[in-house]
Amino acid sequence: MSLHKFEAEIGGKNLIIETGKFAEQADGSCTVRYGDTVVLATAVMGQNVREGIDYFPLLVDYEERLYAAGKIKGSRFIKREGRPSDDAILCSRLVDRSIRPLFNQKTRNDVQVVLTVLSVDQENDSDIISLIAASCALSISNIPWNGPIAGIRIGRINNEWVINPTYQAREKSDLDLIVVGLDDKVSMIEATGHEIPEETFLEAIEFGQKHLKKVLKLIKEVQTKVGAEKITADKEEIDEEEKLLKQQLDNKVEQFVKNKLKEVLLIKDKLEKEEAITKLKDELDEKLKEDNKVTKEMREEGGKILEELLDKEARRLILEEEKRVDGRKLDEVRPIACEIGILPRTHGSALFNRGETQVLSIVTLGSPGEEQYLDTMEESGKKRYMHHYNFPGFSVGEVAPLKSVSRREIGHGALAEKAIEPLLPDKEQFPYTIRVVSEVLSSNGSTSMASTCGSSLALMDAGVPIKEPVAGIAMGLIWDEKSGKYKVLTDIQGIEDHGGDMDFKVAGTKNGISAIQLDVKIVGLTLDICKETLERAKKARLYILEKMNALIPEPKKEMSPYAPRIYTIKIEPDKIREVIGRGGETINKIIDESGGKDVTKIDIEEDGLVLITSHNAELAEKALTWIKNLVREVQIGEIYEGTVTQIMKDRNTGREIGALVEVIPGQEGMVHISQFSDQRINNVSDVVKVDQKIKVKVMGIDKERGRIELSVKALNPNRPATSEDFHPRPRKPRQDFRKRF
């Protein structure tokens, strides 16, 4: 295979695609470079049909390699990359959601796309590059796929659109949008924004669609030059007799259920509907048993035909009669009910119900030191807000083993996290680490958006001063390819998601959008469909927000009594070492004497901000006072009750000359023997002992020599000490009488 190189200028940088250099045994492979970020994509299709599955087996793996960033894993014992990070899983999902609709969903051959990041430049995100690489690898392979597609990232800085902004530029942008599509259609959207109006989002989508065409043109150029001829996935050959039997089976099933589908579908309650469908399947099975020519395998196939007919009837009802399976209007939101503060000991909680979807969201507040540490290929730092989403089997009435978190759970949790994060208070205003967990207790569609609503309510219940409450809604689509007729659905439920053509999730506040996620099952959406969907989603979002605001219009002023309190003090950065002490000795002593690590936590920022987190106000105040004293500057004239730490002696004579007194933690001064009393004292130890508490007054400070001069007798109201007691006038030298004469 010969080496080929293709490139085009995108957003001020060259996008370079190379083929024929790596992974020649894969069905399709290429590298894509943008800046100094390089991704290798490979695509392989299994030769055999997988038996016993009713879905298209596509697997997308995004492989982070720490060498790409010149890093070695931080663990002392494990240096090899382990399980994929959340970011890696989210990137895999992004690519999967983009390429999956363009496969024949009836294919049962395994297809795997592996994206290996070979180099990262810490400027250009590898997610878009991986998407382009996957599209190119599939396009030039012999794998049947109706691509290519292309993707682009759009930002907005100072009201100007930016193509593929760097990480640094994205921090300044109020919008982060990924648009994936073909020449005239949008097939995937992933976005977050700071309350962006719908019309602005639509402009961004249109701008992105316009500029991704250049990327699409480049991939098509590669495909034309080096692409292989597409093959047809293995299909089981069916002889004429089997074809006739299958046609007869189709007719039998259709005739049997013809007048029953509508009645079953229009049952409003989900469980009752499922029971009716199960009963209909059982009746169909009994009917088919009457025919001796119908085998067990054919009866099982009859059940699948019934499910397909149910989907077709549900679509027909919407397109032709504008009737939804639960009787709602096309733009109607299911009944909403919500509660807050339902768990007694958590820091914040909320229960959000929309139809038969029910989510319980719980907030936990922690110290700044409990932030999540990030050490991935492209990211190092801390994360103060986390949203975790759990979807157990019982939520859909199924038995499912409780294993490690799934990719779907990570993806849904990340979407709700994106929706809320732009509305969180700054760390300076609210320094807590925030974790929200959403437990899906019952599911009939759109649990991620229910989690967004529940999280917003729970945060306000916890007293987190979010800027605005956030709500989310999932929009659907029924589209007829032949006529081009379509209907947009508001607040889709499970059967409409499964049998529909679009899942368009939109979250935001009354002011604008904070997150979008779009998946389609068709080739893509026109801009007109996007516009109508955003307008309808806004109407639904405002309706949900109205219901939420009726329960709690703003965050609570007081936090839960079980939530920790954070007390702050700002110190000079050069004083940090005094608070920490040698080897952490000082700060550990403060923590130990303020209730221990389970009660009190102390975090110190580089700029000198000290944060004390504690469940006990008295112990927190003790730690705060301690730190204040550690960094406090002793002033002349101040009176302290200090502790005698040492009796000082003259090095030459061994005579006691004074006592060291710790006036505040870490700062000592000396009481000279002459400053204990107006009476002569022979030994300091006759007056004070080590560890004895005594009151002293600061009489002088020698900053250059680091000495604090203290006095006990200056506290005597009858005879206050003077500065001359510490700085007496120099004596005149004795006269040498021998020279006088």
pLDDT digits (tens, 9 = 90+) for 113-140: 999 999 999 999 999 999 999 999 999 9
Write out the H or E segment, with its range, that includes residue 459: helix 447-461
Buried b (16+ CB within 10 A) or exposed e, 675-690: bbeeeeeeebeebbee
Question: What is the pLDDT at residue 528?
Answer: 95
Stretch 423-446: mean pLDDT: 94
Stretch 595-613: mean pLDDT: 91
pLDDT one-digit tens code per residue, 349-393: 999 999 999 999 999 999 998 998 887 787 777 899 999 999 999
Stretch 535-558: mean pLDDT: 97
Tokens of 55: 């879905």
Amino acid at 566: I
CATH architecture of the domain with residue range 565-631:
2-Layer Sandwich (3.30)
Question: What is the pLDDT at residue 532?
Answer: 97
Provide the pLDDT confidence category of residue 79 given band limits of 50, 70 and 90.
confident
Residue 243 confidence (pLDDT) above 90: no
Write out the H or E segment, with its range, that includes residue 383: strand 380-383
8 Å CB contact between 564 and 367: yes
Residues 189, 527: Cα–Cα separation, whole Å:
12
Q: What is the DSSP-derived secondary structure letter of residue 682? A: S
Residues 377, 65: Cα–Cα separation, whole Å:
7
Residue 287 confidence (pLDDT) above 90: no
Closest by Cα among 635, 582, 569, 640 to 608: 569
Question: What is the pLDDT at residue 350?
Answer: 98
Fold classified for 4-226: Ribosomal Protein S5; domain 2 (3.30.230)
Question: What is the pLDDT at residue 233?
Answer: 55
Q: Report domain 639-725's class.
A: mainly beta
Residues in contact with 486: Cβ distance below 8 Å, sequence separation at least 6, in sequence order: 319, 477, 478, 479, 480, 529
8 Å CB contact between 505 and 491: no
Residue 239 confidence (pLDDT) above 90: no
Q: Specify the range with the lowest mean pLDDT, choosing from 172-176, 524-528, 547-551, 625-629.
A: 625-629
How many degrees, rounded to 5, is the angle at CA 577 between CA 576 and CA 580?
A: 90
User: Which tops the pLDDT comparison, 722 or 737?
Assistant: 722
Question: What is the pLDDT at residue 281?
Answer: 87
Tokens of 464: 């987190």
Question: What is the pLDDT at residue 491?
Answer: 96
Q: Specify the range with the lowest mean pLDDT, choosing from 453-462, 482-491, 727-736.
A: 727-736
Residue 735 confidence (pLDDT) above 80: no
Provide the pLDDT confidence category of residue 578 given band limits of 50, 70 and 90.
confident
Stretch 163-169: mean pLDDT: 96
Q: Specify the range with the lowest mean pLDDT, choosing from 419-433, 625-639, 672-686.
A: 625-639
8 Å CB contact between 74 and 125: no
Amino acid at 704: E
Question: What is the pLDDT at residue 238?
Answer: 55
Residue 734 confidence (pLDDT) above 70: no
Q: For the chain, what is the mean pLDDT?
A: 90
8 Å CB contact between 66 and 377: yes
Provide the pLDDT confidence category of residue 223 given band limits of 50, 70 and 90.
very high
Question: What is the pLDDT at residue 295?
Answer: 79
Residues 473, 540: Cα–Cα separation, whole Å:
7
Stretch 12-22: mean pLDDT: 96
Closest by Cα among 153, 111, 146 to 131: 153
Question: What is the pLDDT at residue 736?
Answer: 47
Question: What is the pLDDT at residue 308?
Answer: 86
Neighbours of 485 (CB within 10 A): 11
Give how far the C-alpha of residue 31 lies from the chain's centroid of Cα atoms, to the nearest Å: 29
Neighbours of 376 (CB within 10 A): 17
Fold classified for 346-398+406-551: Ribosomal Protein S5; domain 2 (3.30.230)
8 Å CB contact between 272 and 266: no
